[in-house]
Structure 1
């Protein structure tokens, strides 16, 4: 090897050695800057994180983050996001609103999927790709929903319980979809008839049910016991590491069995949620969940080609209409059928008129498996960016037509005799 070759090799090694640091620094710094700008504009910080990803992505000039490393960091973000969903999953809250949340979520997912399929077919997509696009457009962002309800002080009210129960059902549907999706995408040269497909899906769901049962029965006894033993060490660091080891370890096991990090991470969170130290586990994992969630959104932005807004404005408008108008109409129809008042129906509809993290996860997996083109992926990202940005204006609109929350009634002073 010549001295010039050695010098080139050393330069390549050096470039690779600092790619992790450059990706982290670029991602975090720009996410902070654009997140602050979005917050000042009264938009969700998610918009800023996505814009930061666009800036460091290959479709814009300037610094380009490591295209191979970013998706792996994003995968950790997915694991921690799903772990957080499991930690905050409340079966009791879902049961309180099950009569409307379960049928409502399923009907709305079906309506948005059909609308997306119809639009996709008009655009020349295959049935599978059009269906995947519609399904991705049907799932709202929990992060955006919580932010909107918190600003309106409606998280603990009936509207908040219904909307969150609705989102819990959507999350469960997404978890199942992420497991089944690899079976639906047929690679070139493969053939699979209906009976084989049904058998494969049935066998996979059977294994998932078995894995879930083991986690809920055995894991519910073993994992809390492990956390208690770790807590006895009185070491914050060991407890935090233990929580992360459980989340990442079970996610890896689920990936090895079902090619789904999301399922294992969700079940790990669900099991720990029911343990006495579940709250502590959620608290310890929160900073890392937030950090890697930011990297997840940045990596999603890196994949987005903003020129699609100029190249295909009608297609972008079509998918955005499904998210904001189609889903809202479906939600209003469902809530009206259950005889909810006008203000509640409008608020639930506005809460769900956006898409976010789970749409990204589904779209990214679809592209990875070959079931969705990069162009369709960009349409979904465009719809997410625009719907999240427009969500505050959707709430302002419904307030004007009768959904403005009433100020809380003043409490009567407690009689002195009642305290004796």
Structure 2
């Protein structure tokens, strides 16, 4: 049985034009997913009508969501999930509840909703954010491991759980007597699924993956990983939960086993391929004529919703003890309307909770808010920086973000400051301590601070400052003027640049070593004043090359000379040709 020629053509067209759209977006210094969205709009039924079978493309797009969340689950271990569990569970309830209340009140007062039930339904639709778009944007920016990235992902995962409850309640919204029963059954389904997932993840999946890996068959390993991802996602869809939730849990099942990195490596090409179809399929839903005919109304809705959601999320994040920096980035990242809101909106249309006109306006609003998400996330660091520059707010914000938890000896001097106590920072601290240097750690993670408190070398605690390293008052507590050096190992590129600039403003002669996240950033950090910039991937390649040259009989002195030349030249001789040109 062969595939329908039209479907093969549609798939080829979607992938080919998405690649072209992503390339154009990249050349214009925009996120690739914006190119995918616009590509879908152009080739879709409301554009040039080149796609003849949008439904099949959208079916494949759901696979993209599954792979996207599966990869996140593999990288986002249970340890990291526990770090944000408080705001993920309690904060998400507050966010959904307050958003729903706000939207219901405004819609009733403005006449957009005739009954409280319609207002509540509209609030639930607008309370959801986009897991796929936010995750893709954070991945492209290298921010999934940052504090604001983890807070966003924690809230999004909780929203996906809440979606299951919303879908369960939707059919009985017009029957108040049945709401309690529907809610109870939905909770039982969620708890039953999570209990089954924990059991499989502990006793079945590790052994299964181990046996498959023992065959040393790459094909079998890939097929098993794909089957696990899609199988768990299918189970959650049958339980009335989201596909995204199932795929994420499937990723968590193997995140703690030895073969997690191998599984991630196998799934990444599939994730990227199918994810671009997902974003293109969203673009296919956008009707330019509808948007143009109702442009002013849709833009007003987009502005109200995105600003309103940001204002709801901002105080919630601050209330859980996170900094203004994290709160602004989180509120700007989650202020869109999620892709699963399409599903809820369609169900509401069938039940008569929203009119056909309201539904079409909602589709346009959701689509535009999704397209604006990468731009909002990119804008957030500039907004934070701008707030700190305002004379009226500068002192207030600095006092609010002054570190309340610190352990710094009064006689500390000639020390090395390490900004960021993640995997890289912890190794660096171990190296420095083993050589007898004094170290001061700066981090805004409670987990990192707890690890420092529980560790003694020997009997002497490691000094630390709990707070955002890019905050001026936090930097003041580190005694930059008497420090020997500063090493920046933070996972957030924007924060790395701010720490570098503000540290040099206070201590111009301080030796600063920074970790680079992209090739382009090497030159940026060097120009900002970093004495040394380290690119982890290049350093791994240099170490491999060093061992290989040694195996081939090269003299150690010559090997060291080669490595020194490459580092002194800021890796230019080994960078990809395009990157050298851009630099």
Query: 2:204, 2:94 → 1: CA distance?
Result: 38
Higher helix share: 1
Residues 259-268 or 290-299, more deviating: 259-268
Q: Deviations over 1:176-222 (max 9, x none)?
A: 31x23333333xxx896323221122123213311221221134311
1:24-39 superposed matches below 5 A:
24-39=11-26
Q: Which residue of 2 aligns with 1:289?
A: 271
Query: 2:200, 2:377 → 1: CA distance?
Result: 42
Aligned-residue offset at 1:52: 1.0
- Closer/same/farther in 2, CA of residues 163 and 119 from structure 1, 3 Å limit: farther
Query: 2:173, 2:335 → 1: CA distance?
Result: 38
Residues 273-282 or 251-260, more deviating: 251-260
Q: Which residue of 1 aligns with 2:437?
A: none
**Residue 232 (1) aligns with residue 214 (2):** yes
Query: 1:30, 1:127 → 2: CA distance?
Result: 44
- Residue 311 (structure 1) aligned to one of 293, 316, 335: 293
2:131–2:153 CA contact under 8 A, matched in 1: yes
Query: 2:333, 2:238 → 1: CA distance?
Result: 36
1:198-347 superposed matches below 5 A:
198-258=180-240, 260-338=242-320, 340-347=322-329
Q: Which residue of 2 aligns with 1:10?
A: none
Structure with more contact order per residue of length (Cα contacts < 8 Å, sep ≥ 6) = 1
Q: Which residue of 2 aligns with 1:165?
A: 151
Query: 1:303, 1:367 → 2: CA distance?
Result: 13
- Closer/same/farther in 2, CA of residues 42 and 111 from structure 1, 3 Å limit: farther
Aligned-residue offset at 1:291: 1.0
Aligned-residue offset at 1:380: 1.1
Q: Which residue of 1 aligns with 2:370?
A: 384
1:94–1:165 CA contact under 8 A, matched in 2: no
Q: Which residue of 2 aligns with 1:361?
A: 340
Query: 2:136, 2:230 → 1: CA distance?
Result: 27
Higher strand share: 2
- Residue 55 (structure 2) aligned to one of 54, 60, 68: 68
Query: What is the TM-score when the length of structure 1 is the normalising length?
Result: 0.80
Q: Deviations over 1:136-181 (max 9, x none)?
A: 444444566567767887665xxx224413421322222331x233
Considering only CA atoms, is the larger Rg found in Structure 1 or Structure 2?
A: 2
Query: 1:201, 1:52 → 2: CA distance?
Result: 40
Q: Which residue of 1 aligns with 2:499?
A: 407
Q: Which residue of 2 aligns with 1:5?
A: none
1:26–1:65 CA contact under 8 A, matched in 2: no
Q: Which residue of 2 aligns with 1:8?
A: none
- Closer/same/farther in 2, CA of residues 109 and 255 from structure 1, 3 Å limit: closer
Q: Which residue of 2 aligns with 1:91?
A: 78
Q: Which residue of 2 aligns with 1:184?
A: 169
2:23–2:32 CA contact under 8 A, matched in 1: yes
- Closer/same/farther in 2, CA of residues 57 and 354 from structure 1, 3 Å limit: same
- Closer/same/farther in 2, CA of residues 255 and 386 from structure 1, 3 Å limit: closer
Q: Deviations over 1:211-255 (max 9, x none)?
A: 221221134311121111111111112111110011122222333
C-alpha RMSD of matched pairs (Å): 3.4
Residues 395-404 or 72-81, more deviating: 395-404
Q: How many residues align?
A: 390
Aligned-residue offset at 1:20: 1.9
1:93–1:161 CA contact under 8 A, matched in 2: no
2:333–2:373 CA contact under 8 A, matched in 1: no
Query: What is the TM-score when the length of structure 2 is the normalising length?
Result: 0.59
Query: 1:401, 1:88 → 2: CA distance?
Result: 33
Query: 1:149, 1:217 → 2: CA distance?
Result: 31
Aligned-residue offset at 1:289: 1.3
Query: 2:48, 2:141 → 1: CA distance?
Result: 39
Q: Deviations over 1:70-121 (max 9, x none)?
A: 2211222232233234323333224334455544443333333334434554
Q: Which residue of 1 aligns with 2:554?
A: none
Query: 2:499, 2:139 → 1: CA distance?
Result: 14
Aligned-residue offset at 1:259: 6.3
Q: Deviations over 1:16-60 (max 9, x none)?
A: 821221221111111112222222333222211111111121112
- Closer/same/farther in 2, CA of residues 59 and 269 from structure 1, 3 Å limit: same
2:128–2:159 CA contact under 8 A, matched in 1: no
- Closer/same/farther in 2, CA of residues 398 and 69 from structure 1, 3 Å limit: same
- Closer/same/farther in 2, CA of residues 274 and 263 from structure 1, 3 Å limit: same
1:101–1:162 CA contact under 8 A, matched in 2: no
Query: 2:224, 2:155 → 1: CA distance?
Result: 29
1:74–1:295 CA contact under 8 A, matched in 2: yes
Aligned-residue offset at 1:292: 0.9
Query: 2:111, 2:386 → 1: CA distance?
Result: 35
- Closer/same/farther in 2, CA of residues 110 and 180 from structure 1, 3 Å limit: closer
Query: 1:266, 1:97 → 2: CA distance?
Result: 16
